[in-house]
Amino acid sequence: MRLKDLGEFNFIDRISRRVKLSSRVIKGIGDDAAVLKWNRDKYLLFTSDMLLEKRHFYRRAGGYLIGKKSLSAGISDIAAMGGLPEFALVSLGVPGSLDIGYADELYRGIKSVAKKFKIDLVGGDTINSRKIIIDVALLGTVEKKNVVLRSKAKQGDAIFVTGTIGGTFKGKHLSFTPRLKEARFLVRNFEVNSMIDVSDGLIADLGHILDESHKGAIIYEKDIPVSKDAKDFNSAIREGEDFELIFTIPKAEEKKLMDTWPFKTRCSRIGKIQNAPKGLYIAKKNGKKERIKPTGYSHF
Ligand code: ADP
Ligand code: MG
C-alpha cells in the first residue's frame, strides 16, 4: 500500500500506535503541540511546522511574508494549547542559487514575529534543496492549570470560533496574526474544555476535537463567520489555513464570554457539543439539518 492510499491522518495514527512513550509525556502525537512534564507549575509545549515552496507558498510572495508565516504557524499551535511560545529553531532547505537578499528577507520576517511575541531564535539547520523548505520547531510553556487539549470537549459545551473563516488564500494565510492574546485571555478567565487552531479547515479541525473527545456536535450555518474573501460557504468551511481558534466552553460561561470579550477580532458561537453517536450536523439557513463529513485538507 502507498501512503496516499492510507491518507495523512491514518499514517500519523499508525506512527502514534507504534511509539511507546515514557511517563514524562503528558500528551504525545495527536494535539497541536506535545505536552511534556517540566516543573511544579508548568508544562513544556513542543511543536514543529514545515512549509514547502509551491505547496504552502510561492517564492513571489517574498521572503518577508513567508518568514513571518513560518513562525506564526507554530505560535498558532502553541496558542491552541493555551500556552506561550518561548524558543524557536529554524531549519532551512534552500537552493545555492537563491539570492542572499531573499534569504535575508526570510529572516527579517521571522525576526519581526519573534520580536513581537518575545521568542528567542536559538538555532536550526541548513541544507541545500531545490525548493525552499522552512521548518520551525517551537518550544513553549503553559501553566498546568491552563493547558487545553483537543480531547476534553464536554457534552453541552458551546463551540466558538475567532475571526472569520475562508478565503485565506487571497492573502491572510501569509499575513495572519496568531491568536495568542485571545487564547491567553480565554485560558486565564474561562474553563476552556477543548481548543484547536484551524489549519485543515473549520469542519476538519472541529472533527479533530470531536474524534479526540469522542463527541458529536451541531453547528449553525447562519452563525459561522464567513470571510468576505471566501468563494462560498462550502469552500470557506473546508479550505484551511485560517489560523483561527476553535474552542469549547461550558454553556454556563457563554454569556460571560460574550460580555467580556475585549478584542477587535470577532468571537462567534457556532454550535454546541453533543453526545458521541450523533456525529457532526449542520443546521442550514434553509431550515434543513444535514449530517456533514468532517473532511478538509489532507497532504496525501
Ligand atoms: P497541526 O495542524 O496542529 O500542526 P498536524 O495535523 O500537522 O497538526 O499534526 C497532528 C499531530 O500529528 C500532531 O500531534 C503532530 O505532532 C503529529 N505528527 C504529524 N506528523 C508526524 C510525524 N511524521 N511523526 C510523528 N508525529 C507527527
Ligand atoms: Mg494546529
Mean of pLDDT values over 140-155: 98
Question: Which residues have CB under 6 Å of ligand 1?
Answer: 12, 15, 29-32, 49, 77, 199
In whole angstroms, give the CA distance from residue 207 to residue 213. Answer: 10
The minimum-distance atom of ligand 1 relative to the CA of 29 is 14
Supply the pLDDT for residue 294: 79
Supply the pLDDT for residue 226: 98
Mean of pLDDT values over 40-44: 98
Q: What number of other Cβ atoms are within 10 A of residue 291's Cβ?
A: 10
* Cα 31 to ligand 1 centroid, rounded to whole Å: 7
Supply the pLDDT for residue 293: 86
Q: Which residue has the cell 477543548?
A: 194
250-282 per-position pLDDT tens digit: 999 999 999 999 999 999 999 999 997 779 999
In DSSP terms, 42 is beta-bridged to 143
Is the per-residue pLDDT at 158 higher than 70? yes
Mean of pLDDT values over 236-241: 95
64-82 per-position pLDDT tens digit: 999 999 999 999 999 999 9
In whole angstroms, give the CA distance from residue 69 to residue 90. Answer: 12
Supply the pLDDT for residue 295: 73
Is the per-residue pLDDT at 9 higher than 90? no
| Nearest alpha carbon to residue 157 among 271, 294, 291 | 271
* Cα 117 to ligand 2 centroid, rounded to whole Å: 18
* Cα 30 to ligand 1 centroid, rounded to whole Å: 7
25-38 per-position pLDDT tens digit: 999 999 999 999 99
Mean of pLDDT values over 278-298: 88
Supply the pLDDT for residue 177: 97
Supply the pLDDT for residue 101: 97
Share of the chain above pLDDT 90, in %: 95
The minimum-distance atom of ligand 1 relative to the CA of 31 is 14
The minimum-distance atom of ligand 1 relative to the CA of 32 is 3
Contacts (Cβ under 8 Å, ≥6 apart) of 40: none
Alpha helices in the chain (DSSP H): 3-6, 8-17, 63-80, 100-116, 172-175, 180-189, 202-213, 233-236, 254-260
Is the per-residue pLDDT at 298 higher than 90? no
Supply the pLDDT for residue 97: 97
165-206 per-position pLDDT tens digit: 999 999 999 999 999 999 999 999 999 999 999 999 999 999
93-121 per-position pLDDT tens digit: 999 999 999 999 999 999 999 999 999 99
Is the per-residue pLDDT at 300 higher than 70? no
Mean of pLDDT values over 135-156: 98
Q: Which of 29, 32, 49, 300 to mutate to test the pocket of ligand 1 (most atoms within 8 A of CB)?
A: 29
Confidence label for 296 from pLDDT (cuts 50, 70 and 90): low
Confidence label for 2 from pLDDT (cuts 50, 70 and 90): very high
Average pLDDT, the chain: 96
| Nearest alpha carbon to residue 281 among 188, 169, 203, 167 | 203
Mean of pLDDT values over 204-211: 96
